[in-house]
Chains A and B, each alone.
Chain A
Amino acid sequence: MKKLINDSNKVVSEMLQGMAIANPNIVYYKDFEVIARKNKTEKVGIVSGGGSGHEPAHGGYVGKGMLDAAVAGNVFASPSPDRIIKGIQEAHMGKGVLLVIKNYSGDVMNFEMAKELAEMEGIAIKSVIVKDDVAVPDSTYSTGRRGIAGTIFVHKIAGAKAEEDATLEEVSRVAQKTIDNTRSMGMSMSSCILPGVGKPGFVLKENEIEIGMGIHGEPGIERTNVKKAREIVDILCHKILKDMDYTNSEVAVIINGLGGTPAMELYIITKEIDEILKTKNITPYKYFVGNFMTSLEMAGCSISLLKLDSELKQLLDAPCNTIGLKIGD
């Protein structure tokens, strides 16, 4: 294992310390592994979080126009309720708190437990669960679809709504609307190594890729041989567009790198998506290209599409200022 770290037991806390140094507008709460905004205003608080290893998610999205607090667990493991409660307390400014949870068993249980405990302290809380990954069938019985890079749209839009001084109900409504209109799918070309484990959890051969792999290396739909960017985009888009009808609408697009993919390749993917969308009578409104929700050093990408209406468009365009995403006035 070759990594730029000091101690595998301290990667989360040292990373968050660094993040707080890089962004003077946020503060790091040691032991709770919480990143929160320094300058608080009276509005609905937005809290997200989950396992570490997906940076800049989620601490990198704390700031004006997005999250008020982010709670980090260990690498790829949910934070415990006591940490999440700290995040809720830091985000609570008297108007209630919205929790944005990615759909994994551990995250859902820990955030819901924290929600119940914080409600007992008299804080009004609502939660939404992001499940955008079409690689996994949706199900009310099982854990169902995973939450991946489409979560960034939810942070952005809920955050913008909260800045407008909306009520908790209103913020929760647009967050859910964003989830309902977002679909994503990813692929991977290499594994990643958890610092505490020291060796890869799975191995992809030199000429092998996996379609639909999750952001923790969970199995996807199929293992196949390396293909041209155009073919990969075709496969991913096909699955997304089969799941939701985007025809004749405007969409926002995230082309997300998983940590080990060069920007050059992400831009090639962007060009291919643009061509596909246009042939399907879908109008790309805005592109976000970069590493938004990573899986340590995994190579690969995911594509997320958000179907826009005038309300979502306006909230998407509103200013925000975080490490992971900046949109000017």
Chain B
Amino acid sequence: MKININSKDYMEYLNKAAVVIRNHKDYITRLDAETGDGDHWVNMNMGFNKLLEQKELLEGMSLSDMFKKIAMTLMSTIGGSSGVLYGSAYLKASKVVIGENIITAPLLIDILTAKLEGIMERGNAKPGFKTMIDTLHRALEYMTEAFHSNASDEEILLAMKKGATYGMNETAQMKAVKGRACYQLDKGIGKLDPGAVTMYYQLEALAEYIIEQNKSNV
């Protein structure tokens, strides 16, 4: 199989991610209520639903314009901290896909790297701060390593998912440095960061979507 994604495929992937997020309402809300103010799921769900409402418009765009539009939509619909962070991620990613119509394995790595940089710059945060960054950072680390050891595209995607799982689980032992969880006396230790979990859902959906898409095409 090969990673070979156009704008229309990308929207199908977002559709899949939106369903996973929608199905985890109680879990995410409970996680967020323990360390934050309990609105993370509501806001993320609203943001992804808004993207799906514009599916037809978005899938007709170039990758770069589509990412830019996704950025602005998530920024204004999710709101709060997550909105501006996802907005920054997609804005930065829109720059690395200028002139491109197809996402291949190396371009996917560039896109995720740009997203990670966008989030880290905007949030003034690093891996280890108990945030969505930890999931994305590990996912990239694992998939880049696979890519450089000449793994197949499927192996690269599975490495991405494995890294994302690892990064998400690592947040349980971290102390929050940013956001509302950092005012808690225990800094959220022992609890997963809800932002790291919703980031995981998106990466998991991405890996699974591309692998399934290839299987159904055979």
Interface residue ranges, A against B (CB under 8 Å): 73-74, 76-83, 105-106, 109-110, 112-113, 136, 141-143, 194, 196-197, 201, 214, 216, 218-219
Pick from A74, A112, A136, A143: contact of B79, CB below 8 A. Answer: A74
Distance between A182 CB and nearest chain B CB, rounded to angstroms? 20
- Cα separation A216 to B184 with both chains bound (whole Å): 13
Pick from B39, B122, B123, B185: contact of A77, CB below 8 A. Answer: B39
Residue B106 at the chain A interface, CB threshold 8 Å = no
Instruction: Check A216 against B85 for contact (C-beta < 8 Å).
Output: no
Name the prevailing secondary structure of the A interface residues.
Answer: loop
**Digit string of B62-93 for contact with A (CB within 8 Å is 1, else 0)?**
00000000001001100111011101100000
How many positions in chain B have a CB within 8 Å of any CB in the partner chain? 27
Instruction: Check B177 against A80 for contact (C-beta < 8 Å).
Output: no
Pick from A77, A141, A142: contact of B80, CB below 8 A. Answer: A77
Given A136-B183, A142-B182, check contact A78 B80 (CB 8 Å).
yes
Instruction: Check B183 against A77 for contact (C-beta < 8 Å).
Output: no
Instruction: Check A218 against B183 for contact (C-beta < 8 Å).
Output: yes
Pick from A82, A105, A136: contact of B75, CB below 8 A. Answer: A82
**CB contacts between A and B, total, < 8 Å:** 74
Given contacts A106-B84, A109-B85, 10 further A-B contacts (CB under 8 A): A73-B79, A77-B39, A78-B80, A81-B84, A82-B72, A83-B76, A106-B81, A113-B75, A142-B178, A143-B182
Given A141-B177, A197-B38, A218-B180, check contact A109 B123 (CB 8 Å).
yes
B180's nearest neighbour on chain A, judged by CB, is: A218
Pick from A76, A79, A143, A216: contact of B178, CB below 8 A. Answer: A143
Which residues of B31-61 have CB atoms within 8 Å of chain A's CB atoms?
Answer: 33, 37-39, 42-43
Interface residue ranges, B against A (CB under 8 Å): 33, 37-39, 42-43, 72, 75-76, 79-81, 83-85, 87-88, 122-123, 177-180, 182-185
Instruction: Check A109 against B122 for contact (C-beta < 8 Å).
Output: yes
Instruction: Tell me which residues across on chain B come within 8 A of A136, comparing CB atoms.
Output: 183
Distance between B164 CB and nearest chain A CB, rounded to angstroms? 23
Instruction: Check B180 against A142 for contact (C-beta < 8 Å).
Output: no
